[in-house]
Structure 1
Amino acid sequence: MEKNARVYVAGHRGLVGSALIRTLEKEGYTNILSATHCELDLINQQAVADFFAKEQPEYVFLAAAKVGGILANSNYPADFIYENLMMETNIIHHSWKAGAKKLLFLGSSCIYPQMAEQPIKEESLLTGPLEPTNDAYALAKIAGIKMCQSYNKQYGTKYISVMPTNLYGPNDNFDLATSHVLPALIRKVHEAKVNGDQAVTVWGTGRAVREFLYVDDLADACLFLMENYDDSKIVNIGTGVGISIKSLAENIRDITGYRGKIIFDRSKPDGTPVKINDVSFLDSLGWSAKVDLNEGLKKVYSWYRENELHKK
């Protein structure tokens, strides 16, 4: 991409979008387009059509999405499937109508079958049943992948799709009702420390294994792929290394300085037993993650204390 190219980041205030903005600015891109929800409702087809006709972006990072953890996905499946389908459909279609040179669609490792062989290869897509607690979200993301591939096939576009693992970092969602496990644990453990609580309760058995990627690493990988990859094959992004939720909770306890117990509520679901991305394909393209999990946890806990606590 030319440094003065018109680059649109959809979802620029979110966890991924804000990291993309940081990375693009750091790399010297000078013509970055964005719009708040008040300025542009991505669910509104005509509003998106008007935006693309006016702004004519040359490159599009589709990071806008409705996301959440097990609780949110279980309680609001209609919201997750409708909003994600509408956003991606509008943006992908109008990127094509406006003649965008390239688009990068951000999916999720949640798209893969619940019992996919570990670590999960890109070829596992649509080979088995989805995890039932987030199937609405997963189906919406799969539709986005297929839409990118279909436009490539029919119109010769260069729309690529990436599947990041579990993400964390600055601008994460720390709302206990809608957040993913890592930010939820940071908030829970920090509040238990401040309140002098004797224990923190965590959903599930603690045995579930997850992989976590610092979001600035993801942004760096996305920029690398936007500049170096054109194929329709989806690309996993991650570290390739997993950690149990029990160990994650203990690491967060150590980083926050909390001295209480971690108790697991076995009546609550674990979700997928193990979920780790096979990142050998991305490695072969020449990119690998740089931020170690403990280093990343320290960074995000510092950000949480500096940016979130004043909101309470």
Structure 2
Amino acid sequence: MDRHAKIYIAGHRGMVGSSIERALERRGYDNLVCRSHKELDLTDQAAVKRFFDAEEPEYVFLTAAKVGGILANSAYPADFLYENTMMEMNVLRAAFEHGVKKLLFTGSSCIYPRLALQPIKEESLLTGALEPTNEAYAVAKICGLKYCEYLFRQHGADFISVMPSNLYGPGDNYQPEESHVLPALLRRFHEAKTLGREEAAVWSSGRPRREFLYVDDMTDACLLLMENYSGPETVNIGTGHDISIREAAEAVARAVGFEGRLAFDASKPDGTPRKLLDVSKLGAMGWSARVPLEEGLRLTYADFLKNEGGRYGT
């Protein structure tokens, strides 16, 4: 991508989009186009078309999404399916009709079958049943990546898709009803520490295993792929290593400085038993994750204190 090319980042206020925006600015890209949800509702097809008519971006990073943890996904499946599918289809179609040179679509590892063989290869898609607790979100993401694939195969559109493992980092959503596991634990442990509690709950048996990827590492991989990869097949992005939720909770407690007892609540849903991505395709391109979990959690907690800590007098 030329440093002066017009680049549209859909979802620039989210964790992934804001990371991409920061990275592009650091690298000297000076023609970035961003719109907040208030300025541009991506579920509005006509509004999206008017935006592309007016701005004519050359490259697009499609990171916008309605996201949430197990509780939100279970409570609002219709909203997750509708809003995510509409956003994806509107942006992808407009980008195709306006001749965008290249587009990167960010998916989620929840697209893979609940009991997929580990580590999960890209070819595992649609080979088994999805995890019920986030099925609606997964179906929407599958629609997006498949549309990228079909546009590539049928029309030669250079639209690629990536599937990251569980992401965390600055700009994450720390709201209890909407957040994923690491930011949810980070907030809960911070509250427990601030209030002087001796115990903090973990909504899980602690047994499931997850792979956690720092968001800036994902961004580095995305920029590498935008410059060096074209193809209809999706590409996994991850660390290649997983840990148990118990180990993750203990790491968050250390980052926050909470020294109380962790109470694991096995009555809450565990979700997928294990989710570790096969990242050999990206590894063959010379890429690997660089930020260790302990360092990433320290940086994430600093972001939390900066943006959320004031609510607790910190």
- Equivalent residue letter for 2:66: K
Query: For 1:254 and 1:151, how far apart are their aligned partners in 2?
Result: 46
Q: How does 1:189-204 map to 2 (within 5 A)?
A: 189-204=189-204
Pairwise CA distance, 1:311: 4.8
Q: Provide the residue aligned with 2:150 in structure 1.
A: 150
Q: How does 1:1-312 map to 2 (within 5 A)?
A: 1-311=1-311
Three-state SS of the structure 1 residue aligned to 2:284 is helix
After superposition, give the CA deviation of every residue in 1:276-306 in whole Å (9 maximum; x if it has no partner).
1110110002211111111101111111112
The 8 Å contact of residues 45 and 90 in structure 2, kept in 1 or not, is answered as yes
Query: For 2:89 and 2:112, how far apart are their aligned partners in 1?
Result: 21
Identity %: 59
After superposition, give the CA deviation of every residue in 1:222-256 in whole Å (9 maximum; x if it has no partner).
11100100011110001011011111111111222
Three-state SS of the structure 2 residue aligned to 1:144 is helix
Query: For 1:22 and 1:249, how far apart are their aligned partners in 2?
Result: 29
- Equivalent residue letter for 2:88: E
Pairwise CA distance, 1:257: 1.5
Query: For 2:253 and 2:102, how far apart are their aligned partners in 1?
Result: 43
- Equivalent residue letter for 1:66: K
Query: For 1:112 and 1:288, how far apart are their aligned partners in 2?
Result: 22
Three-state SS of the structure 1 residue aligned to 2:68 is coil
**Residues 15 and 70 of structure 1: is their aligned pair in 2 closer, same or farther, counting only changes over 3 Å?**
same
Query: For 1:299 and 1:144, how far apart are their aligned partners in 2?
Result: 31
Query: For 2:234 and 2:259, how far apart are their aligned partners in 1?
Result: 43
Q: Give the 4+ runs in structure 1 shifted more than 2 A.
A: none
**Residues 140 and 184 of structure 1: is their aligned pair in 2 closer, same or farther, counting only changes over 3 Å?**
same
After superposition, give the CA deviation of every residue in 1:34-84 in whole Å (9 maximum; x if it has no partner).
001111000000000000011000000000001111000000000100000
Query: For 2:302 and 2:39, how far apart are their aligned partners in 1?
Result: 31
Query: For 1:234 and 1:198, how far apart are their aligned partners in 2?
Result: 45
Query: For 1:287 and 1:137, how far apart are their aligned partners in 2?
Result: 28
- Report the TM-score when normalising by structure 2: 0.98
- Equivalent residue letter for 1:214: Y
Query: For 2:219 and 2:248, how far apart are their aligned partners in 1?
Result: 23
- Report the TM-score when normalising by structure 1: 0.99
Three-state SS of the structure 2 residue aligned to 1:285 is coil
Query: For 2:259 and 2:287, how far apart are their aligned partners in 1?
Result: 38
- Equivalent residue letter for 2:15: L
- Say which is worse superposed, 2-11 or 145-154, in terms of deviation: 145-154
Pairwise CA distance, 1:310: 2.2
Three-state SS of the structure 2 residue aligned to 1:201 is strand
- In the alignment, structure 1 segments of 5+ residues that lack a partner are none
- Equivalent residue letter for 2:31: N
Query: For 1:74 and 1:262, how far apart are their aligned partners in 2?
Result: 25
Query: For 1:144 and 1:165, how far apart are their aligned partners in 2?
Result: 17
- Equivalent residue letter for 2:64: A
The 8 Å contact of residues 150 and 232 in structure 2, kept in 1 or not, is answered as no
Three-state SS of the structure 1 residue aligned to 2:162 is strand
- Equivalent residue letter for 2:160: I
- Equivalent residue letter for 2:69: G
